[in-house]
Amino acid sequence: MKSLNKTLVAAAVVLACGTASANDMYLDLGTNSYDVDIFPVRVSDPDTSTGTFTEFGFSQLLATSIYDPSLGLGTTVYDTNVASILSSYGLPASGTALDGSSTVNLDLPDCPAGQCDIDALSPLVPPLASDNEGFLTTWDLQVEYYLEGILTTGGPDFTNGYIEIYFNELGNDSYSGATRTAIDMTGANEGMVLRAELKNTQLTLGNLNLFFDLTYAKDNFLYIDTGGGYTDAADLILAGNSPRLVLDTNVNPPFPSDDQLLPVTSGMGDFVIRQTTLDGSITIPEPGTIAMLGMGLLGLGAAGIRRRRQSAA
């Protein structure tokens, strides 16, 4: 029985990842003007599409969690990187932590420095030697997200929220030497290209999976392998077949410690706030992956029931 339990736990963790059976996809920029000649490493190609990839990757994404001060089970937690929302909570630059002695520093996300970026189209190799149509050389993808939920015994259970991805031309941004100082997304081709709305959350051993339905895609931008060829995500949404997105990241630790939390009082009320950075991926899993995930967790639950019954006996 112990071996079976260990196997089910391992299976649940693997299935939770959501990347093993991820769908292939590619982006079509609609123009070849973003692709660049970087001889002899690579030469721009005549088409307007990236090579296929399976993950939108992100690293060091600045995440801010805002908790009700009681920090008890069932209390509300908000998590976001949207600067306007964070500003409304009146984030101080620093202060004394909840433990009474540690110092906590808080910042708004530094998007020009990369704290809001999708920084990989894995397994394409950025920024050189791959068919990425100038990704991270002439354009990038910026991310905004907002989540709200409650604290449970396993950590945050988010029940509402969204994630938005924006296309940004690097040439429109401001620089001081080689350092980007501001992002400007007012160009004709810039703006939101994807929006997804949260459906449910799964937290297993500190690994957080957020499941979203893709509710908006820019026309002729994202193409997804549907088994019989690649289909425009905008067309799938229009037909009522919203693709499922999985945001896979780690929460370490699921419950913040007192030395990480800064008490804040503002016009919005009393809160405690933690900031951390997130690494992870956004994938479009094959439909079977979601079904297998449910079966794996069901088996894990059944094993737990059997174990408790044996203990009682």
Q: State the pLDDT confidence band at 170, using cuts at 50, 70 and 90.
A: very high
The mean pLDDT of 8-29, rounded to a whole number, is 61
pLDDT at 74 over 70: yes
pLDDT at 296 over 50: no
For 25-34, 53-62, 152-161, which range has the lowest pLDDT when averaged over its residues? 152-161
Q: For residues 278 and 249, what is the distance between their CA atoms, to the nearest angstrom?
A: 7
pLDDT at 145 over 90: yes
Q: For residues 1 and 62, what is the distance between their CA atoms, to the nearest angstrom?
A: 42
pLDDT at 307 over 60: no
Q: Which domain holds residue 5?
A: 1-21+287-313
Residue 287: its pLDDT value, please? Answer: 61
pLDDT at 11 over 70: no
| Closest CA relative to residue 283, chosen from 309, 252, 245 | 245
pLDDT at 281 over 60: yes
Assess whether 277 and 295 both reside in one domain.
no
pLDDT-above-90 percentage for the chain: 65
Assess whether 6 and 67 both reside in one domain.
no
Assess whether 221 and 112 both reside in one domain.
yes
Residue 200: its pLDDT value, please? Answer: 93
Q: For residues 117 and 240, what is the distance between their CA atoms, to the nearest angstrom?
A: 29
Assess whether 17 and 93 both reside in one domain.
no
Assess whether 15 and 146 both reside in one domain.
no
pLDDT at 104 over 90: yes
pLDDT at 10 over 60: no
Assess whether 27 and 142 both reside in one domain.
yes
pLDDT-above-70 percentage for the chain: 85
The mean pLDDT of 88-95, rounded to a whole number, is 90
Assess whether 158 and 303 both reside in one domain.
no
Assess whether 247 and 119 both reside in one domain.
yes
Residue 21: its pLDDT value, please? Answer: 78
Assess whether 41 and 7 both reside in one domain.
no
> Across the chain, what does the average pLDDT equal?
84
pTM for this one? 0.84
Assess whether 279 and 298 both reside in one domain.
no
Assess whether 1 and 63 both reside in one domain.
no
The mean pLDDT of 210-235, rounded to a whole number, is 96
Contact 81, 94 (CB under 8 A): no
The mean pLDDT of 76-92, rounded to a whole number, is 92
| Closest CA relative to residue 165, chosen from 133, 198, 135, 140 | 140
pLDDT at 33 over 70: yes
Assess whether 137 and 266 both reside in one domain.
yes
The mean pLDDT of 111-121, rounded to a whole number, is 96
State how many domains the chain has.
Answer: 2
